[in-house]
Amino acid sequence: MSRFGDATAVERVGEGRYTAVLDGGFGLAEALNGGYLMAVLGRAAADASPHPHPVSTAATFQRVARPGPAEVIVETRKAGRTAATSLVTLVQDDRRVVDALVTTGALDAGTEPSYTGPPPTPPLPPLAECAEFRTGAGQEGFAAQVDMRFDRSTMGWLDGRPSGRPEVRAWFRLRDPHEPDPFALALAVDALPPVALNLGARGWSPTVELTWHLRAVPVPGWLALHGTGRVLSGGWFDEDVEVWDAAGRLVAQGRQIAREGRPRGSSAPAG
């Protein structure tokens, strides 16, 4: 099994109850990535459901999840012939960390869409023209688990020259041998740096609520991520992400609301 597969694995220990060991490699400064947590919750929801795919997930992040043991509680709300819905909760140290309403269904990988709107513009440049984010030898963390190649025109914030446009675009794949699947898509929709960085925000931007939809089962290969935003106001911003697979199909959509990032060392609350 791949590291991502191991890191998102859950073990059933009772009716609607699972254990997991959260992997610190999918976090930044011990704050675990929200998409990674949704992948863990999605695996538990799918295991408890008669349907295999998490087609809709709406997650509210109550507090920061840390690496180590956790419990996942799945409470079935509906179990129908084509869809099932569960309230799925991640618990650490007897405290709720994430609550998610997960709807599962079954998607046929061979289904052709009746209609798909045009892909986002501008398109991503070819891989060879994009900037790779490299980690140093022996480093761990999120960047060591994912291979991302960024559109240079959306990365001016790295050099202190934010573009003024809330957008980030990148190619994405896992570094270990784990081809895209519905659970990797949960990670992909929350993998980009916050689009608010190009509006002058700084530091970690904690996600408060994130909803994502699985639109199709992806084919093997690179994923194209397109992140945009509409409003930054009063310390809050929104972010929309579309994920397109190597066959040119829209396979996932995500929308989140988050707190504007603050530099490390700020005494202000993280949100």
Q: Is residue 148 part of a domain?
A: yes
CATH number, domain of 214, equals 2.40.160.210
130 close to 153: Cβ distance less than 8 angstroms: no
DSSP 217-266: PPPSS-EEEEEE-S-EETTEEEEEEEEE-TTS-EEEEEEEEEEPPB-TT-
Number of domains in the chain: 1
Give CA–CA dist 9/18, Å, rounded.
10
Q: Is the residue at 111 inside a domain?
A: no
119 occurs within a structural domain: no
pLDDT of residue 86 exceeding 50, the answer is yes
Q: Tell me the HSE value of 238 on the side-chain side, using a 13 A CA sphere.
A: 7
196-221 pLDDT tens trace = 999 999 888 999 999 999 999 999 99
Task: For residue 60, tell me if it sits in a domain.
Answer: yes
pTM: 0.93
Tokens for 39? Answer: 């992948």
What is the domain range of residue 178?
3-106+133-259
Q: 122 in a domain, yes or no?
A: no
Is residue 179 included in any domain, yes or no? yes
Residues linked to residue 21 through DSSP beta bridges, in sequence order: 69
Average pLDDT across the chain, whole number: 92
- In whole angstroms, give the CA distance from residue 76 to residue 139: 40
Q: Which helix or strand (DSSP H or E) is residue 40 part of?
A: helix 34-47
Residue 121 in any domain: the answer is no
Question: How many CB atoms within 10 Å of residue 62?
Answer: 14
Within a domain: 220: yes
Percent of the chain with pLDDT over 70: 93
